[in-house]
Amino acid sequence: MTKILTGGVGKSEVASAVTGLGLPGVEIVVSSDMDAAVQLRAGRADYFLGTCHTGAGASLGVLVGLMGAAACHTFGRSVPSGAQIEALLDEGKKVFGFAVDQIDAITPALARALAARTA
């Protein structure tokens, strides 16, 4: 089972987008940044998807501070390729931030890659 937490201004939209994919073995939970950091650090969640208006600092600010920059990646305004997502996962990234207007472009590819990692 892969547990993905969502946070930020588009947390409900991200949760709906992931749920709509119907990925087996994926649990999606709308969360706050602080609760997500606690759950990730305790091993009670696997990944975090955060959104803000720019996809830069605010999408992951709390998580970068509590999880460390090595666990986090911000896509900002760019839409990553599947190869870029795989490379980030290979590096051990568990926390991802992106712009709220990129939810439809980023969420499906990212969620499928996360689900495949623990399938």
Whether the per-residue pLDDT at 113 is higher than 80: the answer is: yes
Tens of pLDDT along 41-70?
999 999 999 998 877 766 678 888 899 999
- Please count the other Cβ atoms lying within 10 Å of the Cβ belonging to residue 22: 7
Report pLDDT for 54: 79
Whether the per-residue pLDDT at 118 is higher than 80: the answer is: no
Q: What is the mean pLDDT of the chain?
A: 92
3-class DSSP state of 14: helix
Bridge pairing between strands 2-8 and 26-30 = parallel
User: Rounded to two decimals, what is the model's pTM?
Assistant: 0.95
Q: Yes or no: say if 48 and 5 are a contact pair by the CB < 8 Å rule.
A: yes
- Please count the other Cβ atoms lying within 10 Å of the Cβ belonging to residue 89: 18
